């Protein structure tokens, strides 16, 4: 079953995706009342890169150790799915604007 993010919010800083260099200033979480913390994984909404928050809450490419430490991959799969859906919606909007 696909999980759906429960809450959204804005990050205190505006980190850049190290892959596509887009600003990521918002977040969605699966657990009510939680916020991203150092060491948490995330998916870039623009390029679907798997990322990790470092100790200063900047985004870095997720390490193999971090990925291997995920006990339940359903949240990661859901985040990737929503990133792909977002990308498809952006493409449709861009086509309509032309």
Check pLDDT > 90 for residue 55: yes
Please give the tally of structural domains in the chain.
Answer: 1
Report yes or no on 73 lying in a domain. Answer: yes
Q: Which residue has the higher pLDDT, 54 or 7?
A: 54
Q: Which domain holds residue 63?
A: 7-97
Residue 21: CATH number of its domain: 2.20.28.160
Query: Does the structure show a pLDDT above 80 at 15?
Result: yes
This prediction's pTM: 0.71
Q: Cα separations (Å) of 67 from 5, 10, 25, 30, 94?
A: 20, 24, 23, 17, 33
Q: Tell me the average pLDDT of the chain.
A: 82
Cα 38 vs. chain centroid, distance in angstroms?
A: 14
What pLDDT does residue 59 have?
A: 94
Residue 1's pLDDT is 46
Place of tokens 């969605």: 28
């Amino acid at each position: 079953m696909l999980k759906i993010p429960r809450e959204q919010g804005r990050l205190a800083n505006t980190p850049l995706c190290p892959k596509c260099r887009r600003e990521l200033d918002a977040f969605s979480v699966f657990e009510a009342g939680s916020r991203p913390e150092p060491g948490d994984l995330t998916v870039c909404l623009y390029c679907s890169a798997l990322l990790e928050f470092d100790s200063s809450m900047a985004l870095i490419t997720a390490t193999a150790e971090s990925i291997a430490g995920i006990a339940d991959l359903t949240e990661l799969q859901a985040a990737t799915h929503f990133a792909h859906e977002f990308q498809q919606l952006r493409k449709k909007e861009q086509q309509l604007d032309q």
